[in-house]
Amino acid sequence: MKLIFDAHLDLAMNAIEWNRDLTLPVAELRKREEGKTDKPDRGRGTVALPEMRRGGVGICVATQIARVEHDAYSPVFGWRSQSQAWAMTQGQLAWYRAMEEAGEMVQIRDRAGLDRHLAMLPGQGGGSFPVGFILSLEGADSLLTPGHLERSFADGLRAIGPAHYGPGVYAFGTDASGGFPAHGRELLREASRLGMILDVTHLCDECFWQALDLFDGPLWASHQNCRALVPHMRQFSDGQLRELIARGAVIGAAFDAWMLVPGWERGRTTPASSGVSLQHVADHIDHICQLAGNARHCGIGSDLDGAFGTEQTPGDLDTIADLGKLRTILAARGCSEQDIEGIMSGNFISFLRTAWK
């Protein structure tokens, strides 16, 4: 099996909030959602555990996510209190535990666990195997206090992104601006003390640069694209990408169509009208490779089914099992086999082995 490492999947969110039984094939999930309109991506999901196995996605970074709604009129959905958000993340954690008990998934907490899982994965073909996952918190709003981070660490949380969209409890994220408040700085100190990975994805520019000054531990950008190709503050500038490269980070290419091609209008533009394809994913990967002078800082952080489905993904991707198509595209662009396997899985694996040594 040619392994794929996906650095960002909101699996528990889909299971709990979208009510998707991810042990079923994608085709069955789509059939069950026919005619439903409560979510914009109903009937168009792309991710399920059987498809992950079929495509060789043997390891992923799987999230807990529950933001707080700071403004009652905010277009970004959230919970009304930190207590509610905390309860949601604990429900998501319970789902991951249920998947472990069922043999569907296995949590990876350290280097030894990573090596055990890699040794267990089938060498050729698909087959049945538990999908390995590293637990990450996308947006820290749900942490009732910075001290709650240690409790989550004991539950296996190994990476944390302080912000999501808008203003957050601990940091400012996409479509917001401002620096870390005092308790946000305390959160960074606690994450550093615990040896956690800082995910700088979604941080606004001010918080991004402050985070690099305040946090001296390992950091990555789990699902992040290039501002030079799609001008929006959700992407990172070349200066930000160069700084991440200098810090040894790996940047996972995101597959959300509006982050791949400029001029996307949510609800109006479609994959067909825009022509968005996996070639555009390769464009963002190639841009980072050119900045770095090598391919060691690129990976995949697809964010598939991150509150969007095939209405907002590359047109040549039907399910997560199609991630492997990137190999052919990268090879046609002159990437070596070693570089391709690094992008598909090896770079994030090497990063973790270093971070967890």
Q: Can you say whether the dihedral through the CA atoms of 338, 115, 3, 256 is positive or negative? A: negative
What's the pLDDT score for residue 77?
76
Q: What is the pLDDT of residues 134-162, one digit of tens each?
A: 999 999 999 999 999 999 999 999 999 99
Confidence grade of residue 7 (pLDDT, cut at 50, 70, 90): very high
What's the pLDDT score for residue 357?
85
Is pLDDT of 124 > 60? Answer: no
Q: What is the pLDDT of residues 278-291, one digit of tens each?
A: 999 999 999 999 99
What's the pLDDT score for residue 268?
95
Query: What is the share, in percent, of the chain residues with pLDDT greater than 90?
Result: 94
Q: How far apart are CA 43 and CA 26, in angstroms?
A: 9
Q: Give the residue among 143, 140, 59, 65 at the shortest CA–CA distance from 105.
A: 59
Write out the two tokens for 118: 């890699």
What's the pTM value of the predicted model, to 2 decimals?
Answer: 0.97
Write out the two tokens for 291: 């900045």
Mean pLDDT, residues 115-131 taken together: 85
The Cβ of residue 64 has, within 10 Å, a number of other Cβ atoms equal to 28
Q: How far apart are CA 188 and CA 172, in angstroms?
A: 14
Chain centre to alpha carbon of residue 347: 15
Q: Cα separations (Å) of 315 from 251, 260, 269, 286, 311?
A: 23, 12, 12, 20, 9
CA angle 251-112-58, nearest 5°?
Answer: 50
Residue 125 burial (CB < 10 Å; 0-12/13-18/19+)? exposed
Domain covering 4-355 in this structure, CATH number: 3.20.20.140
Domain boundaries, the chain: 4-355
